[in-house]
Amino acid sequence: MASEPENIIRFKTMAAPILGALYAVHPADIPRDSSGIASNQVLDESDEDLFDDTVSYLIENGYLTTTSGGGFIRLNAKSWEVLQKPDPLKPKETLGSQLVKVAKDAGAAGAKGAASKAGAAALAALAQAINL
């Protein structure tokens, strides 16, 4: 099996802590900027751009909802429902709980591999539920 392009791996790695941070506070919303999600790490300019692009993609494709004129984001009902399902990689835990762990560990050494896997599992389940 061919490996995925670097941009797809980075996207999945960025999506995981975004979804995890939102799952952790659901049904509340959080600011659309990276400060509410990546508080335990400093993002460089390319990571800030990736964060913005990932959030935009998740909104445009029905994973997230914007509130307060677009300045805040939260999970929509479908995403909340899907993230409460068992994680195929760890069936005793939910997809959402795995994403919360990834969000908390986002700056730790070795966390990118876990984030990419958790992000991939969550995005696949969400895409299927949203019929993408």
| Domains of the chain by residue range | 6-126
Residue 94: phi, psi to the nearest 5? -85, 160
Rounded alpha-carbon distances, angstroms, from residue 59 to 46, 52, 71, 74, 108 = 20, 11, 12, 10, 27
Tens digits of residue pLDDT in 28-83:
999 998 876 765 566 677 888 999 999 999 999 999 999 988 899 999 999 999 99
What pLDDT shows up at residue 1? 46
Report whether 41 contacts 81 (CB < 8 A): no
Percentage of the residues of the chain whose pLDDT score is greater than 70? 85
- Single-letter residue type at 97: S
Mean per-residue pLDDT for 5-22? 90
Hey, which residues does 65 pair with through a beta bridge?
74
DSSP 70: G
Pairwise CA distance, residues 16 & 22, whole Å: 10
What is the predicted pLDDT for the residue at 84?
95
CB atoms within 10 A of CB 48: 14
